[in-house]
Amino acid sequence: MKHLFVIGDSISIQYGPYLKKFVDDRYHYDRKRGEAQALVDLDTPVGANGGDSRMVLDYLLGEQQRSVKYDILLLNCGLHDIKTSPVTREKQVPPDKYSENLKQIIHVAQTMTDSFVWIRTTDVITEIHNAISKPFKRYHEDVLAYNAIADELMREYNIPMIDLYSFTSKFGPQAYCDHVHFTEEVRHLQAAFIAGFLESMVQT
């Protein structure tokens, strides 16, 4: 049985248990460890929360040094990159640096697996998010911009993409349980969508 390894932010932590059930007959599911630590504060990227692109790159480089290999690597980062200071308006990871980090992530990942799959970052409804989140802001237009950066790179390097952004966006504002995370029902649907994509990979 092939191993499926997930590196992602808190969105992936929340759909993860459902995804594990969906793929249990075909893949051994695993992810970046430390879920209990990450669940204490989903906005703070520790433990299982992969964090921004710099953190993901650092994690992969560490695993590469240990000669870790993945059968299938499912990866996303973006929501932490677009965190915006309400004072300076600076991004946690500026667009040009995000692009640079992703390019390095791709190069490193391709030495560790033959099956690297990118998941497009889910949306932010600006008004909802920023009415709740005070330490930092996020903006819908940044999700679009950073997804576009990732899209271009993944196409350039022929990396398969799961369009979780479009799939989840169709559920509208009622899909959210807080500023950025989703209801249990939507998490279940996200996992089913991802599992369906992985199933199609096996068939092709």
What is the β-pairing status of strands 161-162 and 2-7? unpaired
Report pLDDT digits (tens) over 160-175.
999 999 999 999 999 9
Specify the CATH number for 2-199; select among 3.40.50.1110, 3.20.180.10, 3.40.710.10, 3.30.70.2470: 3.40.50.1110
* pLDDT value of position 202: 63
What is the β-pairing status of strands 2-7 and 72-75? parallel
- Amino acid residing at 44: T
* 67 to 48, 60, 113: CA distances (angstroms): 20, 10, 11
Q: Where are the domains of the chain?
A: 2-199
Burial of residue 64 (CB within 10 Å: 0-12, 13-18, 19+) is middle
In which band, very low, low, confident or very high, does the pLDDT at 200 lie, cut at 50, 70 and 90? confident
Q: How many beta carbons lie within 10 A of that of residue 123, not counting itself? A: 21
Residue 204 has pLDDT above 80, yes or no: no
Tell me what the pLDDT averaged over the chain comes to: 96
Backbone φ and ψ for 49, nearest 5 degrees, come out as -75, 115
Report pLDDT digits (tens) over 68-80.
999 999 999 999 9
Average pLDDT over residues 134-144: 96
Residue 79's closest CA among 89, 93, 61?
93
Report pLDDT digits (tens) over 8-62.
999 999 999 999 999 999 999 999 999 999 989 989 999 999 999 999 999 999 9
* pLDDT value of position 169: 98
The pTM of the whole model exceeds 0.75: yes
